[in-house]
Homo-oligomer: A and B are copies of this chain.
């Protein structure tokens, strides 16, 4: 998958939106896993995104650069496929290439005839036995995490009148989007990548409202897609800031689906996730971020939880760097 980055893919500073990259990653993953799941005779199916593991944006991509997206199936369980997707940015004028993303996605094959039926996945061959064991470990871990997040999804974002600058209420934002045909797979459900692009759009607006500078996506925490969203739904994507460190902001984003035409069903929470942004100067250097002012008990609790995630990620990264240095 190769695509030139266009003006509409980027913000006014010329940095490609993280959401555009997430959407390309998901398209590559959906194609390779749908192809794999249909590789044996049997019921035709479409692979639906179930989960994206934490993804870091290693370096910014710019208008005019070419994004090279490659995907590989790294593990199969009975009902799911793990796909590893790498994104390289290539400046075709200088020839310079940079790794911008490594993402891991999980897909589940749904029958084309009956969307609620999960089919079996043809097994892949592993070069070494330990690859299979490591894949199985990753599979078990993500399964556990998906179960956990399924339970903590009741929260809503309440509006605030006349908020003070740098409070949570000041930057919180939400958008609505009517799900059109181009947003959907053959089964008539929204592509996971479309949802992630909208989530990044809202998170980016929250971040920019908070710090009033050029901002870019630094990372996205694991996202679980518990519920499908159908064509014709209205989706409400809401974001609020949960934590700020000296140079980063964490934003929680919710996606609620409202199947309002011809459906007896109530509005429901389809997805939620944490996005991390950094603020950049005109020269592309990280800027200090104004501290988030927390007011309510809930806001203070979420700030502490965000701090926990921040410190954990930081520790993990330092451990990896030490490990790399020792090798």
A: residues with CB less than 8 A from B are: 1-4, 6-8, 11-12, 27-28, 30-31, 34-35, 38-39, 44-46, 63-64, 66, 90, 92-95, 112, 158-159, 161, 165, 173-178, 180-182, 184, 186, 201-202, 204-205, 208-209, 212-214, 231-232, 234, 258, 260-263
Say which residue of B35, B214, B232 sits within 8 Å of A234 (CB atoms).
B35
A260 touches B64 (CB 8 A): no
Contact yes or no, A7 B182, CB < 8 A: yes
Tell me if B174 and A63 are in contact (CB < 8 A).
no
CB <8 Å contact, B12 and A232: yes
The residues of B that contact A11 with a CB separation of less than 8 Å are: 4, 64, 178, 232
- Chain copies in the assembled complex: 3
The answer to whether A261 touches B4, judged by C-beta atoms less than 8 angstroms apart, is no
Complexed CA–CA distance, A232 and B38 (Å): 13
Residue of B nearest to A171 (CB): B92
CB-CB under 8 A for A44 and B175, given A180-B182, A208-B93? no
Task: Give, as a whole number of angstroms, the nearest-CB distance from A261 to chain B.
Answer: 5
Counting chain B CB atoms within 10 Å of each CB, which of A2, A8, A174, A177 scores highest?
A2
Are A34 and B93 in contact, CB atoms less than 8 angstroms apart?
yes
Which of B159, B180, B262 meets A112, CB within 8 Å?
A: B262
Known: A11-B232, A34-B260; 19 extra A-B contacts, CB below 8 A, are A1-B175, A2-B173, A4-B31, A12-B64, A12-B231, A28-B176, A34-B93, A35-B92, A35-B234, A44-B263, A63-B186, A158-B159, A158-B161, A173-B234, A174-B174, A176-B202, A208-B234, A209-B258, A213-B262
Contact status of A4 and B28, CB under 8 A, knowing A159-B159, A212-B93: no
Residues of B within 8 A of A260 (CB): 34-35, 38, 208-209, 212
With A2-B31, A178-B31, A205-B66 in contact, is A261–B12 under 8 Å at CB? yes
Check A44 against B176 for contact (C-beta < 8 Å): no
* Chain B proximity of A257: nearest CB distance (Å): 13
The 5 listed contacts between A and B (C-beta, < 8 Å) are A31-B178, A34-B260, A39-B95, A46-B93, A63-B186
Contact flag A2-B64 (CB < 8 Å), given A34-B260, A38-B93, A38-B261 = no
Known: A2-B1, A112-B93, A158-B161. A178 touches B27 (CB 8 A): yes
Q: What is the CA–CA distance of A261 and B260 in the complex, to the nearest angstrom?
A: 30
Shortest A191–chain B CB gap in Å is 9
Do B208 and A261 touch (CB < 8 A)? yes
Please, which residue of chain B has its CB at the minimum distance from the CB of A260? B35
Residues of B near A181 (CB, < 8 A) are: 6-8, 180-182, 184
Query: CA of A174 to CA of B209 in the docked complex: distance in angstroms?
Result: 17
Given contacts A4-B201, A176-B202, contact A209 B12 (CB under 8 A): no
CB-contact partner of A261 in B6, B45, B92, B231, under 8 A? B45
Partner of A174, one of B4, B35, B176, B232: B176
Cα–Cα, bound, A182→B45 (Å): 22
In the assembled complex, the CB of A196 is this many whole angstroms from the nearest CB of chain B, namely 16
The reply to whether A2 and B234 form a contact with Cβ atoms under 8 Å apart is no
A208 touches B161 (CB 8 A): no
